[in-house]
């Protein structure tokens, strides 16, 4: 495993397991497979409705809590609820969260950030960050924060490399974390000739080449999978390195293509949506 050190000194794995769009049963098995395959970073969210399942998988794994890096995200409708972090901890079955993010720049996200800062200062959270925000929204947070965000989680993959945003984050001593690191499973992306050629050269799969590219580009990645063999393969990317020329070939694939587009209408919908977190399995 490779690691980054966040701007407050916390050490974070660069490869994790995502649980987006997974049912509780799927999330529990996926996270258990990840934790028993050498992946210690786990990503979930209030809105995924599988936090309880993630907590069960952590307990089943037999790993010490300090050997797991747990990440979750506050949903907009909870930003102004003063007990939102405590309820999140209760669902996860833990007394602290390693990384807590603002999930969407919707609703009163400034108040949500204040709530995360309070949790950080109380020792309930080891690091805090943002998700799905533009550089302008990040600057807004930076202008009011007492605890600097450590992470921006956003869509990054070979077709959408966010080079300018990464330069901005580097200047602010923040790391980027990629969701959809494999392009939401887009076969056109995964089967790009450069990945097929490099997979043959290194004895890896196309997906492993893409994940290795992310790591060398400085991206923290959270690919999601329900397949134990794929999860184990995701962890097997630290025994080789792409050359500078190969990294440049992949950089040339950047076209700005996204698989998700935020709109004011979507953000308004997020602010109004109240996930039924208390009834999750």
Name the residues annotated as catalytic.
48
| Total number of residues shown for the chain | 281
Which strands, in side-by-side order, build the sheet including 175-179? Answer: 16-18, 41-43, 69-74, 99-102, 128-131, 151-155, 175-179, 220-221
* 83 Cβ contact partners less than 8 Å away, ≥ 6 residues apart: none
Cα torsion 239, 187, 151, 167 to 10°: value is: 90
- C-alpha closest to that of 220 among 16, 63, 7, 76: 16
- Residue 136 has φ and ψ, to the nearest 5°, of -65, -40
Cβ atoms within 10 Å of 72's Cβ, excluding its own: 28
For residue 44, the Cα-to-chain-centroid distance in whole angstroms is: 8
């Amino acid at each position: 495993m490779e690691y980054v050190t966040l701007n407050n000194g916390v050490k974070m794995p660069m490869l994790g397991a995502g649980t987006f769009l997974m049912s509780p049963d799927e999330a529990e098995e996926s996270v258990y497979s990840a934790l028993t395959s050498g992946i210690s970073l786990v990503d979930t969210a209030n809105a995924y409705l599988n936090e309880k399942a993630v907590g069960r998988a952590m307990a089943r794994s037999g790993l010490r809590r300090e050997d797991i890096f747990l990440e979750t995200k506050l949903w907009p409708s909870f930003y102004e609820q003063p007990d939102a972090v405590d309820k999140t901890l209760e669902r996860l079955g833990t007394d602290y969260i390693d990384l807590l993010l603002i999930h969407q720049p919707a609703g009163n996200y400034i108040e949500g950030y204040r709530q995360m800062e309070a949790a950080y200062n109380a020792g309930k959270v080891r690091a805090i960050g943002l998700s799905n925000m533009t550089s302008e929204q990040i600057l807004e947070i930076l202008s009011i924060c007492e605890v600097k965000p450590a992470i921006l989680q956003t869509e990054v993959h070979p077709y959408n490399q966010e080079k300018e945003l990464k330069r901005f984050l580097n200047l602010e001593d923040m790391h980027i974390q990629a969701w959809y690191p494999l392009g939401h499973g887009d076969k056109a992306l995964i089967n790009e000739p450069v990945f097929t050629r490099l997979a043959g050269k290194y004895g890896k799969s196309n997906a492993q080449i893409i994940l290795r590219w992310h790591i060398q580009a400085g991206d923290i990645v959270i690919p999601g999978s329900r397949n134990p063999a794929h999860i184990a393969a995701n962890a097997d990317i630290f025994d080789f390195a792409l050359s500078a020329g190969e990294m440049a070939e992949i950089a040339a694939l950047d076209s700005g293509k996204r698989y998700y587009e935020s709109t004011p209408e979507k953000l308004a919908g997020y602010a109004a949506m109240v996930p039924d977190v208390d009834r999750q399995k």
